[in-house]
Amino acid sequence: MRIIDTLRSGNCWKVRLLASFLNISLERLTLSIDRGDLKSDTFLARAPMKKVPVLELDDGTNLGESGAILYYLAQGTPFWPERSDEQSQTLAWMFFEQEEHMRPLSKLRLHRKRLVMAP
């Protein structure tokens, strides 16, 4: 399996973190937002949601959305609970993170870093 990621993306980091907890070795293709890699036809053809992270499976399937990728990796492991009420609570925190953390905080952090680090 291979992850297409970028260096400053928390969404990509979450996927790499879970993979490391599960001892799943991921090949890595690290792109640069600053260089415009995410606008390239090659990337857009591979990325179902047109954003990173993308998880490329060995059969050629490409998965997008960090939460969906986490779900894929966590299936059958202690990171995905068996009881449906616990699954629901897990999903609630994943949705909370995207809506309440990523949108107002992480995006701000990413754009601030880009401005500070821009040449």
**Binding positions for ligand GSH, rule: CB under 6 A:** 9, 11, 33, 38, 51-53, 65-67, 98
Q: Which is nearer to ligand GSH, 84 or 106 (CB)?
A: 106
- Comparing every residue's Cβ against ligand GSH, the nearest one is 51
d(CA 63, CA 82): 23
Can you read off the two tokens belonging to residue 5?
A: 């990621």
Nearer to ligand GSH, 80 or 102 (CB): 102
Nearer to ligand GSH, 3 or 52 (CB): 52
Q: In whole angstroms, how close is the CB of 96 to ligand GSH at the nearest point?
A: 13
Which lies closer to ligand GSH via its Cβ, residue 90 or residue 98?
Answer: 98
Measure the CA–CA gap between 80 and 12, rounded to whole angstroms.
19
Strands 54-56 and 2-6: antiparallel
Q: How far is the CB of 44 from ligand GSH (least distance, A)?
A: 10
Q: In angstroms, rounded to a whole number, what is the distance separating the alpha carbons of residues 107 and 102?
A: 6
Count how many Cα atoms sit within 13 Å of the Cα of residue 17 in the half-sphere of its side chain: 9
